[in-house]
Amino acid sequence: MEDQERPPYLGDSNRGYSSDVAPGGTQATDEDEHYTVEGSDLRIMWDEGAGPLWACDGLLPDDPDWVRRALGLSDSLVADLFAWLSDMTALHQRLPFADARERVQQFDERGQELAERLQTEVGARYRVWYQA
């Protein structure tokens, strides 16, 4: 591509090329800004009627596609996060039963494992933890 055809350059010419044109040649839009997560912390937590992920400014959308796009997560991790959320919801509906209380610890261990996987995928961008 000739320099005249390239979108306006932003950044250090000795490093990567950046522009306000999204991959595929489309113009970046304000909608792309809706796929950002404020702060440097992510928390996995169950709360009735909420999604599995929380940031400094509160609950993140409970849409798997949004989570995948905003955080750049693998399909398998996103699927496992939302499966855990569904399973936790079902478990909490059974909590008056003795066997359900014993299973809470198993689900907390699963939540901790998900937090470790999430930390691996987001790297140093966020500090991740599981809140029981």
26 Cβ contact list (under 8 Å, min separation 6): none
Tally of domains in the chain: 1
- Report the mean per-residue pLDDT for the chain: 80
> Is 34 inside a domain boundary?
no
Cα of 21 vs its chain's centroid, Å: 24
> Is 99 inside a domain boundary?
yes
> Is 14 inside a domain boundary?
no
> Is 10 inside a domain boundary?
no
Token pair of 2 as six digits: 């000739």
pLDDT (average), residues 28-55: 83
Instruction: Assess contact for 46 and 111: CB atoms under 8 A.
Output: yes
Token pair of 5 as six digits: 């055809």
The pTM for the full model equals 0.72
Which of 12-16, 72-76, 94-98, 127-131 shows the lowest mean pLDDT across its residues?
12-16
